[in-house]
A and B are shown apart, each in its own frame.
Chain A
Amino acid sequence: MKATFPHMGRMDIFIKGIVKALGMEAVVPPTSSKKALNLGVKYAPEFVCLPFKLMLGNLIEAFERGADTVIMVSDRGPCRLGLYGLPMQIILKNLGYEANWLILNTPHALHGLFQLGIEKEVVKYRDKLTFVDGLLAFHFGWKKMLAIEEIERLSLKIRPYEINKGDTTKGLYQGMEAIESADNLYDLKKAKDAVIKDLRSIPQDRNRRPLKIAIAGEIFVVLDSFANLDIEKKLGELGCEVDRTIWFSTHILHHVGLDKFMRRSKGKAVRAARPYLKHPVGAECNATVGYAILYAEEGYDGFIHLMPFTCMPEFVAGGVLTRVSKDYNIPIFTVELEEHSSQTHLMTRLEAFVDLLKRKRQKRQGLEGSRGD
């Protein structure tokens, strides 16, 4: 059995760990690219949301490489994710790819894992494995994931200060590779420490005062740099310090209820949104609105809202955010993402947004200055 799964950001690092832990062979689809996207667009329903198209593209590429089992997460609505599986099965079958589908009927990580663990197909392949082996490999996958996220976070902090444009991104990519190739906890720690040291030693101009921008929205496009056209990198190179509201690890922790004590947990965001949204809408909608409020209160300069074209929950969020933007005096920029989204077009609009934030900050500082006289 060769198991595959669609990409979402760097989730592959974690899932690969689990799949191996269960004694299966993993076929990781090639990193999302124009090719995967085009395949997805060609075979997916025309106006389905971007995540579907990319995931379908990933799966087709994985089948071309011999995968025969698909692992997919699902839920019970109200959005589309829970029903991705059925049409995907139909489309792939019509393309001649018969596969075995392991659909995890819950986004709850531990339940999912348990369900996967008792699947007949998996059990067959697992006889040589002990429970402890599984647990260790799971732990290792998780640690790797955290290491990747740690260096990503660091890169967001360093990029706005870098003197030579592109240094941070280069360092980050090299660092990701180094971490990915680590085979045990010891190598992993060594690799991570080395990457952190390298990133810190990038030449920086610490006199800059970068604008602070938070990014939120639909989870797939927030996590996936291909889907969001590398928006974090673009903003960083425009001199902004970016904070991402959702990470793969925080998403999992939220689902097992362990994020409660974090400074900005999803639960806190959802509560913050209550005056504006009286009912859970679905997916990240309520959290998106709440994050805008939390970050505005922390004094962030701007907020970027990412939504796939035709995304239902984020359409609701976008509408409500127009009000939040006024009430909390924070500029909010909603970016709709689809297969035709162009890098240059996005760049122009980001430049305009950053200019607006700069002017706003100058005006505010001007006011504070005159008050001080």
Chain B
Amino acid sequence: MAIKVGIPRALLYYRFYPLWKTFFTELGAEVIVSEPTTQEIFKKGLKKFVGDTCLPIKMVFGHVITLADKVDYLFIPRLVSIERDTCLCPHFAGLPDVLCAIMPDLPPILDIHFNVRKKGATMKSIYEAGKRFNKNPFKVYRAYQKAQREYEKFLKRIKDGITPQEAIKIFDGEEVSPPEKKKGGLNIALIGNPYTVYDSFSSLDIIQRLRKLGARIYTSEMIPDEIIEEKVRTLSKKIYWSFGKETVGSAFHFLDSPEIDGLIYIISFECGPDSLLKEIVDDKARKNKRVAYMSLVIDEHTGETGMDTRLDAFIEMIKRRRAKK
């Protein structure tokens, strides 16, 4: 029987799933992903930890618990950094240890230090990840190359204008009908940590809500790295968080893009990096009279009605600005 590897549908799943899945499947493992977050999954994770933290970290506990008795290994990579010069927030470097410490009965955690975005993934770390499934380094490396190719396809699909959720569906072989382009429709950009924005539990499915209101969605994944680099270089201090840099860089880009009508910054309450970056984005957006901007700070108590009211008001604001022109 194939070895079962469990991947929580949380955190960097929304950025790297096609890579991980292809890699493990190529090595003969069976990949099991937890179900999309629900209130029930979320509640399972509560009370497990000490102190309070951001919604995405709270959610991952629930996902891990639901996977625990279904798999032989849990894949919780210790993603310290996903590109040179930047790192992820401290939660990522500690997550596997926290899970192990709090729930000692979990299946073994594959906590390999993956470093992917640039060519940085070393042969050694790739082999570390793969050797439990296949001892042949050559096969492991080939599996990784295949994974990398799938991953690049996935990234390209996103750059062409669909959301990461949809690109994951396509990768999994599902049909996705591209959102129709309506003439005169509103163009709205969404920024924030991918796992906050694309998890439909935490973001209350904001993308579908906005589409229903007739908006076309833009995300930071669609912006080329070079543009992001160029935009953040205008700041006096380097932003050393990977997603933080993406958020701020793409916010600045969207604020300068003539086709964008509105910008929404989705933040998980208690997110450390965003608490500071919001100040930087707010300041820039305040000075911009053309693009409508709002930040949505969400937590598990955010309700659908509250969200709808704010979105309606936001759309109204955009329409008013348009009418003035």
Contacts and interface: CB of A to CB of B under 8 A. Distances in A.
Contacts of A318: 49-51
Interface in A43-74: 45-49, 52, 74
B239 A281 contact: no
A316 B60 CA distance: 14
A275 B320 CA distance: 59
Contacts of B80: 279
B87 A78 contact: yes
Contacts of B111: 278
A39 to B, nearest CB: 16
Contact of B89 (A78, A94, A334): A78
A279 B280 contact: no
Contacts of B95: 316
Contacts of A311: 272
Given A279-B78, A279-B94, A48 B276 contact: yes
Given A83-B237, A83-B239, A279-B78, A316 B91 contact: yes
B276 A78 contact: no
A103 B57 CA distance: 32
B279 A320 contact: no
Contacts of B54: 310
The CB with the most chain A CB atoms within 10 A, among B51, B78, B88, is that of: B51
B272 A285 contact: no
B101 A78 contact: no
B125 interface: no
A319 B102 contact: yes
B173 interface: no
Contact of B51 (A49, A76, A89, A315): A315
B1 interface: no
B93 A276 contact: no
B51 A334 contact: yes
A313 interface: yes
Nearest to A88: B279
A89 B240 CA distance: 18
Nearest to B283: A90
A190 interface: no
A74 B91 CA distance: 20
Contact of A336 (B52, B88, B113): B52
Contacts of A321: 50
The CB with the most chain A CB atoms within 10 A, among B49, B78, B272, is that of: B272
A334 B88 CA distance: 25
B273 A80 contact: yes
Contacts of A103: 237
B236 interface: yes
A225 to B, nearest CB: 21
A157 B280 CA distance: 46
B280 A312 contact: no
B247 to A, nearest CB: 13
Interface in B128-142: none
B103 to A, nearest CB: 10
Interface string A287-331: 000000000000000000001011111111011111110000000
B193 to A, nearest CB: 13
Contacts of A48: 275-276
B275 A45 contact: yes
Contacts of A78: 87-90, 93, 240-241
Contacts of B278: 45
A221 to B, nearest CB: 13
B97 A312 contact: no
Contacts of A281: 90, 93-94
Given A45-B279, A84-B276, A324-B101, 16 more contacts: A45-B276, A47-B297, A49-B272, A77-B240, A78-B240, A79-B272, A80-B273, A86-B235, A276-B97, A276-B101, A282-B90, A285-B94, A315-B50, A315-B51, A315-B53, A318-B51
9 contacts: A46-B297, A78-B88, A79-B90, A85-B237, A90-B279, A279-B80, A310-B272, A312-B53, A312-B272
Interface pairs A-B: 3 shortest CB-CB: A316-B94, A87-B279, A319-B98
